[in-house]
Structure 1
Amino acid sequence: MKAVIYEDIEKIALKDVETDALPPGYVIVDTKCSGICGSHLHNYYGEWNQSHTRAQGHEVCGVIREVGEDVDGFTVGDKVSMDCL
């Protein structure tokens, strides 16, 4: 899976990341777009003391790729939007 990683002040990168097995009660969403939040800008400019190598992104729209056990009301292919993952 790809993720936008905050590497250092004013340095981000799109990288391949490993993911754990999908636990019960969760879904995997293929992100189609993501908003840029003020928290991302604070991290980017080093205004907050955040750990480096941290994945960025919330306020996401996408399509469900995989549905874990015990998930009701969602199926593969559903379009979804999320906030604050």
Structure 2
Amino acid sequence: MRSLQLSDEGRLRHLLSIDGLPRERIVQLLDRADALRVSAERGHLKLPILRGRTVVNLFFEDSTRTRTTFQLAAERLSADVVNLDV
């Protein structure tokens, strides 16, 4: 059965759960998160990682704090952001 979480090339499409992800992939994600943390601590608040991409946040319940946090995180990675209330 093909993974809906990974593309045919093995790239991560989304991260809703780590269930089914190989251990190596989880370690890569944690290493990347640590590198981003260090970068932010050094004052690099805007990174071009997601430049030219759009992040869509779907919210099924009101959560201003979560919405704002997700939006700021995507914008710090230079993404365009769309927030949708469902």
Q: TM-score range by the shorter chain?
A: under 0.3
**Greater fraction of residues in helix:** 2
TM-score norm. by structure 1 comes to 0.22
Structure with the bigger percentage of strand? 1
